[in-house]
Amino acid sequence: MARAGEFGLSVVGARDSVHSMKIVTRIAALWLAIVASLLWAQEPAKAPAKPDAKDSLAALAAAYKSDLDEVAADYEKWLATLQAWYLSSLDKLQAERTKAGDLEGVLAFKAERERIESHTETTREQVHAMPETLAKLRAAYEPALKRIVDQAAQRKDAARGKYFARLEALQKSLTLSIDLDNALLVRAEKDRIAAEMAEAAGPAVAKPEGAGAAVAKPAGGSPLSASKDRPFVNSLGMKFVSVPGTEALFCIWDTRVQDYAAYAGVKKVDDTWKKADRDGVPVSREPECPVVGVNWDEANSFCQWLTEKEMADGKLAKGMKYRLPTDEEWSRAVGLAKEDGDTPKERNGKDQAHFPWGTEFPPSKAKVANYADAAFHEKFPKNAWIEGYVDGYATTSPVGSFPANKYGLYDMGGNVWQWCEDQYEPNSAARAQRGAPWTHFRRGNILSSFRNRSEPGIRSPDLGFRCVIGLPAR
């Protein structure tokens, strides 16, 4: 029995022990939960992610542009309404003068209509010489015109002031967060707006027909807000615009003699660019003409120098740089859709329909770009040319002499070959070139899709380059 009792006590003890372990386990779990909750409570809350500075600046610029677009749209609408009334009134009064057999009156009304339609200013002398009925009509038109112009100016000033205040707040925020690179970019844009505010004397829209020349837009801006209507203007006066489908801003024209001269003035470079010629005829000696006689390495050195210069001046943010365009970027800029092929060689000539100005060859109208024309043939009679085509330049032309394309870029065809960054094909030192120059006349070579190629050390009187600003990947 003793043994049985002992056995019973052992069982009871074991049960008590198991029960005690359960209690201890529960207490430990509760204690761990309390400790964990205390630690969780002490852990600092994560700060919300800061908005990207470039996105913030781009958003401000987009809002500003939207405000300006609204002002411009209303201005054009009001102006169109006013001018429709004015032109209709001119027609009625001219018809009356015709019925009356008043030749001088008819000619006066006709001349006023032509001035309005051709965007020609009507001078005070012309107003004073008008017949009485026309002078009275003009006297009603001018105050109404002034009200439209003044109202647009006031709205533009208000939009500019709002944009400036927002830029100032963003600059302060970036400075406080020690994001100085982006703060400098915002400051550059703010300074440009401040200059506009100081110089503004009217609306930043074209003056209406009969009211004088258009107001020039001040230079400056930020690369991040560059657009066709508001280009970024660098320290050399080179203008850059965005091109859809690329991560780059394109200079609107080829690098000019005056741009390259600024670089050559501080760097030791080959002087071929100063004395380029063809058969003894000087080529590109004027400041506004594209620089020629520059090889691929020298073009890249210019880009590197300009990057370093403008980084030091606070014009470019970290991650941006001047460089040559890639072959594919150039295709987007000239208006081509994506082409088949992995290299410039494989993409060469795939599109057999499009030229920088359209699809007709020879061009149906003169002066679309600077190619081998009648003036070229007169200067170089032994060379072939585009018969019947006249652009007026025997060699290079000043940049921007011909119409820009839809992105605001000039001379994407004609004037000079433009170096590209790419190798023409793998395992080859030759680099791609685009945009047939002033010496070319063959249809195939003038196509937007045509690629030329040259070794990097080649210099030629019809070979130049165009810069782009590479933007940080977003």
Which CATH number do you get for residue 369? 3.90.1580.10
- Quick one: DSSP state of residue 353? S
Q: Is 365 a residue whose pLDDT tops 70? A: no
69 confidence band (pLDDT: 50, 70, 90): confident
User: Strand pairing partners for 418?
Assistant: 434, 464
276 in a structural domain: yes
- Which of 223, 237, 157 lies closest to 400, judged by CA? 237
pLDDT of the residue at 313:
83
Domain boundary among 186, 215, 244: 215
223 in a structural domain: no
Number of H helices, E strands in the chain: 12, 11
68 in a structural domain: yes
35 in a structural domain: no
How far does CA 35 lie from the centroid of its chain? Answer: 59
Find the domain containing 127 and state its range.
Answer: 53-215
Lowest-confidence segment of 21-25, 56-60, 279-283, 310-314 by average pLDDT: 21-25
466 in a structural domain: yes
- Judge if the upstream peptide bond of residue 398 is cis by omega within 30 degrees of 0: no
**Angstrom distance (rounded) from CA 173 to CA 106:** 65
Q: How many domains does the chain have?
A: 2
Segment 463-469 shows an average pLDDT of 98
pTM of the model: 0.59
Same domain, 191 and 266: no
Segment 385-399 shows an average pLDDT of 94
pLDDT tens, position by position, 141-198: 888 888 898 888 888 888 888 888 898 888 888 888 888 878 887 887 887 787 777 6
Same domain, 189 and 289: no
Same domain, 205 and 292: no
Domain boundary among 169, 184, 215: 215
The dihedrals phi and psi of 355, each to the nearest 5 degrees, come to -115, 165
Same domain, 211 and 236: no
pLDDT of the residue at 126:
79
pLDDT tens, position by position, 396-434: 999 999 999 999 999 999 999 999 999 999 999 999 999
- Quick one: DSSP state of residue 273? G
- Which of 199, 191, 203 lies closest to 163, judged by CA? 191
Same domain, 264 and 401: yes
Same domain, 341 and 413: yes
Same domain, 238 and 329: yes
The dihedrals phi and psi of 472, each to the nearest 5 degrees, come to -60, 145
Between 24 and 143, name the one with better pLDDT. 143
Q: Is 211 a residue whose pLDDT tops 50? A: no
For residue 25, the surrounding DSSP H or E stretch is helix 2-42
